Amino acid sequence: MRILVTGASGFIGSAVIRELIENGHETIGLVRSQEAAERLTSIGATVIRGSVEDTALLRKAATEADAVIHTAFFHKFSHAGLSTRLRIALGGAPSQAATRFMAAAIHMERRAIETFGAALSAKQGALVITMPTMTLTAGRLAREEDEGDLYSVGGGRVASEKALLIQAEKGIRTSIVRLPPIVYGEGDQGGLLPSLIKIARSKKKSVFIEKGTNRWPSVHRLDAARLFRLAVEQGTPGARFHAIADEGIPFADIAEWIGLESDLPIHSIKADQAAVHFGWLSTFAAADNPVSSIITSERLGWKAKHPGLLDEIKKGYYFGK
């Protein structure tokens, strides 16, 4: 297949590009910079330079493809275009800038999904998007058939999931690949695990909240990339898949591993201290997000093959060793 990948130079998107090429697919990667374009070209991908905010570009690229894997999202302020950044910065009180930024990111995501859907409907192509598992109801083992929960930590992005399901009604093979809060592997610089390590070093201690029994799932980036390929090849309209290797690691264990590898003390803190310690990450650090991938394994034959999170942490590269 000829497959367009957005976010193609990112930590996950670049792994998806390699996975597709190694399995005989023709890939087109959407990237913003010349440097990213050169990296992808060197491994055999065709490259389009531009932004996911450019719907005309998205429509043209998707029309010329058999399928789209949409991994792009505004995870940082710098990811947005200049006009969007100005609207966020000047659109109201500075204290609400983060809220405006997230609203803009979700709007971009929904508009891209709708644009891809319109372009792919005539050929009944495939459209795969990524969603965080933290859009699911907390405190119970989440399964693939579960719908996104508006009241979850990531509930704002449920609107994008619903937008994708509308495209399924047009005959497009739409699939959602849900990713855990920790997608790990070499090259991880902007994920939640590096963020936790950075906070621990800054605060000179690695902490968990209360007893730290809340759980985070995880997966290696290369296992996640393989699931994206299987989803675009075999997914059926409205399918949901979970890229989960470990269903739920107690947060206290994650804090302990970070503390041991960083030679930092490990402490429990009260819930009302979480915002001060973790900042923007506090609601995530408190979330209980166990997730199953049993149905994904049954339907696609997908299983994690790469080392688990603890083995990967022990390699030392997350800590500059």
Per-residue pLDDT tens over the stretch 266-307: 999 999 999 999 999 999 999 999 999 999 999 999 999 999
Taking CA atoms, 56 is separated from 34, 50, 165, in Å, by: 20, 11, 22
* Displacement of CA 303 from its chain's centroid (Å): 18
Please name which of 219, 166, 160, 225 lies closest in space to residue 191, comparing C-alpha atoms: 219
Taking the C-alpha atoms of residue 225 and residue 229, their distance in angstroms, rounded to an integer, is: 7
Q: Residue 95: pLDDT band by 50, 70, 90 thresholds?
A: confident
Q: Tell me, what DSSP letter sits at residue 281?
A: G
**Angle made by CA atoms 214, 224, 156, in degrees to the nearest 5:** 55
SS (H, E, C) 260-271: HHHCCCEEEECH
Span 160-185, average pLDDT: 93
| Residue 122: predicted pLDDT | 74
Please name which of 58, 102, 51, 95 lies closest in space to residue 76, comparing C-alpha atoms: 102
Span 54-66, average pLDDT: 94
| Residue 77: predicted pLDDT | 67
Domains of the chain: 2-184+217-246+290-307 (3.40.50.720)
| Residue 292: predicted pLDDT | 98
Span 132-137, average pLDDT: 97
Structure tokens given for 8: 């193609």
- Percentage of the chain lying above the pLDDT 90 cut: 79
Q: What is the three-class DSSP state of 88?
A: helix
| Residue 169: predicted pLDDT | 85
Whether 102 shows a pLDDT value over 70: the answer reads yes
Amino acid at 36: A
DSSP secondary structure, 9-36, as one string: TSTTHHHHHHHHHHTT-EEEEEESSHHH
